[in-house]
Structure 1
């Protein structure tokens, strides 16, 4: 029986039991994909991150992300959680960690009490509103956008934050719009530039509490609409989360806090 460390970290929050929980499992090497998927299903969180030391000169760790049903190509909160584990347990002397992923090398640096991730900017373009999508979401959006990256989500723009908070999506109905996930967004209130909620029933996640990667699409949109490149965003799910964003050319800096809530041992046969 092999034992591996397993951490659960709440990302994009400084308070336990808020933000988005991710499991982080540091390994010496990746086992087969079927086992990785079984571990993610066992954790039953929106994402489980697996990290192994990288042999590349360009990265420190290889990083992969799994929902309970599938591997994904880009994930923000589990990257933030992985960085927290590296900086807290594996290399507390480091101020930067580089993860090699399916979306390229993603660097995370430590800024006081926040971690800042360097992610790709996925500029959204107008997209025809699919028939029936408003009914499935619980409210008709003012506009729909999509990035030019085929595997990314539809972004639905609403008039105000209250509408986004009140959405009651029908997960079964949304599955008909495969393979998309859905980012519902609107102008913020007070010092919040914009709000969002995210739904991924086609990925096994009815609602994701805080979705870092969604801001690769929403941050460029709001930066252009508001005429500012530095933004403060809030995901208004039941758990809630806060993100500090900077749009710079073809990159988006996504910063947030994280807090560890559990640690244990994963038992693997063999």
Structure 2
């Protein structure tokens, strides 16, 4: 009988039962990929991360990410959950300033920041952002995401962006329009599958919260009706805003992003966009809190 250590970690929040709950599964070298998928399905969280030894000398660990439905290339919330757990529960922050993770999309460095000896957040450097045009009728899009076409803000482009997964980024006029969205999940799943899109991400600068951006994320095509707080999608959003010239390209931009309010799991992400010759460096940070510690027997 194999005993597998499993944790629930709420990412992008300091409050239990907020943010995005990630499944963190240690001892994954004892598991097959089919077993990983079954465990992710059993946990039934938006994403679960599985920790493996790395075969790459440069990396500290290898990680694999799964939704209840399929493996995905990258997940920000699960990365935060895992590295918070390693830094705090396992005391890794007492030995080093950060770690390098081997993922399907390449190496992802993560560091932890301290204040008065306590870890206040973990920060990941995502892979270089890229964007892609998409042709979609405005009425069709509004029906897919369940909003009035007039609430989509055409001041900004409707495009795909990627820092690990492809996201359809839809600018909205204000927070209320985002909160009132009732997507057609079946139709949206079909559309996103056809276009290799992981999530559809609504965003606005016009928010009542104390933040720079307010967002909401739907991912039915990969088995997640709504992802509460998304590190990958918001990193891709920051990359899009830089590449489209919405935020400065000559100085570092700090963005505070709020998400999760619409489903009662508010969370906060801190994104740093650093200019670079070829592509900006995108760093996404957040706190976390451990809620469940358990043993899975197989």
* Pair in the same fold by TM > 0.5: yes
- Once the two structures are overlaid, the 10-residue window that deviates more, 146-155 or 81-90, is 146-155
Of 154, 166, 181, the match for 1:152: 166
Separation in 1 of the partners of 2:107 and 2:88? 21
Separation in 2 of the partners of 1:55 and 1:176? 36
Q: Which runs of 5+ in 1 are unaligned?
A: none
Equivalent positions of 1:212-231 (< 5 A) are 212-223=231-242, 224-227=245-248, 229-231=253-255
Q: Which runs of 5+ in 2 are unaligned?
A: 115-119
Give yes or no for contact 1:194–1:222 (8 Å, CA) kept in 2: no
With structure 1 as the length reference, what TM-score do the two structures score?
A: 0.92
Separation in 1 of the partners of 2:28 and 2:189? 37
Of 226, 232, 255, the match for 2:285: 255
Judging changes above 3 Å, is the alpha-carbon distance between structure 1 residues 150 and 5 closer, same or farther for their aligned structure 2 residues?
closer
Separation in 2 of the partners of 1:120 and 1:210? 19
Q: What is the DSSP-based 3-state SS (H/G/I as helix, E as strand, rest coil) of the residue aligned with 2:190?
A: helix
Count of aligned pairs: 268
1:201 aligns with 2:226: no
Q: What is the DSSP-based 3-state SS (H/G/I as helix, E as strand, rest coil) of the residue aligned with 1:255?
A: strand
1:60 corresponds in structure 2 to 60
Equivalent positions of 1:238-249 (< 5 A) are 238=263, 239-248=265-274, 249=276
2:76 corresponds in structure 1 to 76
Give yes or no for contact 2:161–2:237 (8 Å, CA) kept in 1: no
Query: What is the CA-CA distance between 1:221 and the residue it aligns to?
Result: 3.1
Give yes or no for contact 2:122–2:286 (8 Å, CA) kept in 1: yes
- Once the two structures are overlaid, the 10-residue window that deviates more, 219-228 or 46-55, is 219-228
1:233 corresponds in structure 2 to 257
